[in-house]
Amino acid sequence: MPVEAVIPKSKCFEKIFIPEKIYGIIGNPIGHSLSPAVHNHGFQTQGLKSVYLKWEVASDSLEDFITAARTLPISGASVTIPHKERIMPLVDRTTDLAAKVGAVNTLYWEDGLLMGHNTDVAGFTAPIRNTGIKPASALVLGAGGASRAVLAGLSELGVGKIAICNRTASKAQFLAAEFNAEFVAWEERADSEYDLVVNTTSLGMQGKFQDMNPWPENANSKIKIAYDIVYNPLKTNFLARAEQNGAQIINGLEMFIFQAVHQFKIWTGTELDPDDLRILLLDLLHK
């Protein structure tokens, strides 16, 4: 029997998608990452023959991953917790911004070199720029890893007065010195007025911290913009209270969206529509 008789001629065969470039995210754990949805959506809507995968990589396999990235080669990758700092010495070059933050969240190739960059900074600043408000002063709550990208972002925005406070004072003092910011004692965080207050602490995050608010409930100081880098829940206690008190609020999903927009631009040279991504991600988060 002729083969044609067994395999019907079908349009399906014309639609087989054969990726030519491979991207992905490395972290541990990586199960709930929203990045694959964003980047695969981007590749598909832009008609790019690329695919973005999730790679759970243990800390002691990071060097093996870099070897794999060079061998395959992997065209680009997102880097998340716990690898953002440890990957720095493993790439060929870090951008000045990544070096300033002390963390890499994006790998890409440039002139044959594996580059480490940080798009969390641009992700953080874009939603502030979009408010049309140019904050003259800002206070950062928390001094963990995430606060470094926030401090770098505030200095990129040209915020005149940048202050930082943290439950453990020494960590805030250290970052204040490094980023040329003012140290404020945790207990005195609401004593002065700031145009912008950014929460980078775990308070308000889904789980055991969800009911907590890093900003004192009885604080009188007026905030123009309250920004929480957490996106789960979308409206933390901090944001809900600040909104009631008349502040514009920015949630962590915005930072996530814009860091991804910048990654995609680096990899493909094309722009993702942040409004599109917001719809996609809100849909995913509500499922």
- Which one, 111 or 211, has the nearer CB to ligand ATR? 211
Binding mask 37-76 for ligand ATR (x = CB under 6 A): ----------------------------------------
- Which one, 73 or 144, has the nearer CB to ligand ATR? 144
Least distance to ligand ATR, CB of residue 55, Å: 21
Least distance to ligand ATR, CB of residue 225, Å: 20
Least distance to ligand ATR, CB of residue 91, Å: 20
Cβ contacts of residue 142 below 8 Å, gap of 6+?
A: 166, 199, 200, 201, 202, 214
- Which one, 30 or 69, has the nearer CB to ligand ATR? 30
Which residues within the stretch 143-172 sit at the binding site for ligand ATR (CB under 6 A)? 143-147, 166-168, 171
Least distance to ligand ATR, CB of residue 219, Å: 15
Which residue out of 11, 15, 54, 84 is catalytically annotated? Answer: 84
The residue range among 139-147, 177-185, 230-238, 241-249 that interacts with ligand ATR, by the rule CB under 6 A, is 139-147
Q: Does 202 bind ligand ATR (CB under 6 A)?
A: yes
Q: How many CA atoms lie within 13 A of 247 on its CB side?
A: 27
Which residues within the stretch 205-224 sit at the binding site for ligand ATR (CB under 6 A)? none
Q: Does 203 bind ligand ATR (CB under 6 A)?
A: yes
**Residue 84 annotated to the active site:** yes
DSSP line for the chain: --HHHHS---GGGGG-----EEEEEEESS-TT-SHHHHHHHHHHHTT--EEEEEEE--GGGHHHHHHHHHHTT--EEEE-TTSTTTTGGGSSEE-HHHHHHT---EEEEETTEEEEE--HHHHHHHHHHHHT---SEEEEE--SHHHHHHHHHHHHHT-SEEEEE-SSHHHHHHHHHHTT-EE--GGGTTSS--SEEEE-SSTTSSSTTTT--SS-TT-----SEEEES--SSSS-HHHHHHHHTT-EEE-HHHHHHHHHHHHHHHHHS----HHHHHHHHHHHHT-
Which tokens in the block code for residue 200? 């980078």
Which of residues 35, 105, 200, 268 is near ligand ATR by CB under 6 A?
A: 200
Q: Does 235 bind ligand ATR (CB under 6 A)?
A: no
Which tokens in the block code for residue 151? 């401090």
User: Amino acid identity of 115?
Assistant: M
The residue range among 7-15, 50-58, 141-149, 190-198 that interacts with ligand ATR, by the rule CB under 6 A, is 141-149
- Which one, 196 or 198, has the nearer CB to ligand ATR? 198
The residue range among 4-12, 72-80, 194-202, 217-225 that interacts with ligand ATR, by the rule CB under 6 A, is 194-202
Least distance to ligand ATR, CB of residue 88, Å: 15
Give the Cβ contact number of residue 85 at 10 Å: 15
Active-site residue numbers?
Answer: 84
Chain residues that interact with ligand ATR, rule: CB under 6 A = 142-147, 166-168, 171, 200-203
